[in-house]
Each structure stands twice: as C-alpha cells, then as structure tokens.
Amino acid sequence: MLLSFSVSNFRSFDGEQTFSLVASNRLSTSPERHTVAIPNSDDRALRTGVIYGANGAGKSNLFKALRLLKTIATSTRNKDARIRREAFRFGSGPEKPTVLDLQFLVDDQVYRYGVKLDDTQVLEEWLARVSRGNEHVLYERRVGSKGDVQVELGKIPDADEKFKALALIGGPRNQSFLETVFSTLELSSVPAEIRSVSIWFYMVLRLVSPRNSSKSLGKRFAADPGLLGFAGKFLKSSSTGIEHLAFFSTPLTEDEFLALVPENVLPDQTRLSEGDSWEHALPDGDVVKVQKNGGTKYFKLRLQAAHQADSGQMVPLDIAEESDGTRRLLELIPVLDALKLPDMVYFIDEVDRSLHPMLVRNFLESFLTSSRDSNRQLIMTTHESSLLDQDLLRRDEIWFAEKDSAGATRLYSLLDFKIRNDLEIRKHYLQGRFGAVPFLGDASRLMEGNG
C-alpha cells in the first residue's frame, strides 16, 4: 500500500508537496471499510485516495511523478540515455534536482524509497526499512564528484558475496541500484527485502493512464479465458449493449505468422511442449498465437463484442467500433479483476474519462465493498463531483490540487477544513469553498470582443 509520496521540482511541482494516505486519528468513519492497520505502528493506511482539481492544476502530474519513480526503479537504461524528469520551468527548476520520495507497505513492512535526479543521472538513491518512525537504511547510493557510483550498504542479513560485489561496482549513473541488482543478479542472490521492494514496483503498483489503449488488452484476454468472461459480463451489466466478448480466429500459415511477428520476439518453438501455446499482441490490437496440439498451428485472433439485434441475431463488432466509454470500461476491467488479489495498488488518472457518473461511483463502491480484509488500494484523479459524499469517503481520502500565483501546484486534503459531518461537500466544492476549481471569466464579454 502507498502511505505517502513526496515530489519536488517536477512539472508543475516546485517546492516539496506530499500526498498522504495515512489515516487521521481524528476520524473514525467505518475504519474496517476504509483503513488497514500499519504493522509496527499505531497508524492506519487508507484504502482510497481521490484527487480533485481544475484542468491544468497538476493532479495528473502527481500520477506522472509516480510513474517516473516506477520507471527509475524498474528500467534498465542505455549508457547515454537521458532521464526525462521535466523540471519545474517557472523558477530555477532546470538547475535543481528533482526529488521523489515514497513510503509504502509490502509484506507487513514499511519501506521508504526515493531518488534525487537531474536530466542525465540518478544523483542519489535510498532504501530504508521504517518501524515506529525509525529508519534502518538498507542502502544509499550516490554519484561521486568524479562521476563514480558509490553504494553504501546497511545491515542486510542475507546479503551474499555477489550482491556485495555489485554494490562495489555501483552500476550506471543513469540507472537505479534497485534495477541494477534485479537485472544483474540471479534471484537467489538478491536479498529478500530488496526482492520484495522490486516486486512491489514491478507487480503490485499499477498505473492506469487515460491514454492506455484497449488494444493492449487483447493478449491478456486471449491468455485468460476467465478474465474474458468476466469482462463480457461486466460490460453487459453496465448497459453497454454488449452481450458477451469473444475472439474471432483466423488460421495462418507459418509464413504469414512469421511475417507478422518481429524476429526478436519469436518464441523458440522447439521448447513448446504438447498443449503449450504462445501469444503476441500486434500494434492494431489483434493477437497472433502459436499452439502445439497434434502439430504446430498458427492463428490470428481479433477481439469482438456481440450485440443482439431486434431479430435476436448476434451481431459482432470490433472493439475499435465501440464507443469511447465502452472502451474506457474495458481498460478498467483488469483493475476490477485484480480486486480478487489481496495486495494491489492501482492509481488511475482521470478515472471519469468518457464514463457516466453512476458508473464511476459504482466502481468506487464496488472497490470499497470488496476490499475488506485485504491490502488493496485505489487512488484516482477525477472531476466527478458526485464522489464528494461523506457517506462514501472520509475527509482524509479527499484531496485537492491547486496552483498558486507562481504556477506551482499545492496539494491539500479536505481534512484541512473544519466542516460538519453532515455538510454537503459537493455543493460547497462547486461553489469554490475548498478551492481547486476553475476560475471562469465572463464568456459573454469575450464573445462581444470578437464581434
């Protein structure tokens, strides 16, 4: 679970701003539905965070900052590759480093991971275990005055000689030590805590952009018939007009298959056992598949949605022909399916993009209802004001992003305001009481000026 994330000198963030999902002890609203106990602490973590703000206020930049940190933590880099950190441009941003600092919960342990970076290198990096406010450093990495990468290890009980030798080397200047360890060593040589942190970034932290394409889901649906069935049922229950989803299969010759698949991703077919299969997603969303079943067979699969005509006949449509809202729902379905898993963190930017307000609220309510007795967490940026309901969300789960006079984003929580428990916060938000809404000019005067 994400506990707090601090960012400075990135896009619209100038000085340090912190987004926190540590529950306030001043509130007691449905603790079992909204919060999770943090081990070795008297605090609790919030299951949900919803961030509001006017267009251009910077709420999506928080999403992008976390995406940058995940990229740093999980990506290998070519020697001369630059870091696209996008410093704050209305001050001394280009000359100052960007700092990203994250606290999160994994395997019943709180960790703090962060980086300080410029356009070409990861200047500093740190990983520490946190218990009752005290930090035990696992490693600290920095770039020395001569450009050498120096890694200082803390006490790591299961650190073997290969891990210690890699720490002496340090790794590339533009790459995190966390990724250097995970991409260089065999898994058995990666200390347990380092491994857990890496897997959290790789597998647990999921970031869903409004620009995610439903085309990329084809391979996942092709490999998981259960997910495909769930997706069809969900779309039908959401009044999209879809009865079910299915793949339309076209046989391919071996030459046709080889012409569609890049050589660098082709499978070693000699290692495919009887009954095995392999899928590859094409740029247009179709999927090519090779299957060993009484011989080697090749197929191209196209995801289609079945609609029922007045005559009762089922009419298939390609997913590309569906509405924006239906495709957006399709993109979010893996999030709903992942709610079956005990530990997942999803950050969805612009969750309301092309979706009806009732579907957005139902999505959030379904998450809260299904997430008891788990460490699942859902963070969203949105404009959908119907979620501003104290019967649905706690005050510390509602956050705002607003720019100051210098164009820098400021983050703050509804908890910063003294309000009654029965206050209709949606109405007061739209009236501007909490800020984070657009200030509109007089459109009629603008029109007169163009007359």
Looking at the DSSP bridge assignments, the partners of residue 103 are 4, 112
Specify the pairing of strand 17-20 against strand 2-8: antiparallel
pLDDT at 378 over 70: yes
Greatest CA separation for the chain: 77
Q: Which residue intervals of the chain bear CATH 3.40.50?
A: 1-210+349-443
Tokens of 415: 């908890």
pLDDT at 446 over 70: no
Place of tokens 């857990």: 196
Of 118-122, 347-351, 426-430, 435-439, minimum mean pLDDT range: 435-439
Q: Residue range 329-339: average pLDDT?
A: 75
Higher pLDDT, 30 or 244: 244
Place of tokens 């706690």: 394
Higher pLDDT, 79 or 199: 199
pLDDT at 376 over 80: yes
* Torsions phi, psi for 232 (to 5 deg): -65, -45
Q: Give the predicted TM-score (pTM) of the model.
A: 0.86
Looking at the DSSP bridge assignments, the partners of residue 49 are 379
- What pLDDT is attached to residue 444? 53
pLDDT at 211 over 80: no
> Quick one: which H or E segment has residue 192?
helix 192-199
Phi-psi map region of 11: left, alpha, beta (phi>0 left; psi -120 to 50 alpha): left
Q: 1-210+349-443: what fold?
A: Rossmann fold (3.40.50)
Residue 225: band (very low, low, confident or very high) from pLDDT cuts 50, 70, 90: confident
Residue 285: band (very low, low, confident or very high) from pLDDT cuts 50, 70, 90: confident
Which alpha helices (DSSP H) does 210-344 contain, by range? Answer: 218-223, 225-237, 254-260, 324-338
Of 39-53, 127-141, 418-432, 435-449, minimum mean pLDDT range: 435-449
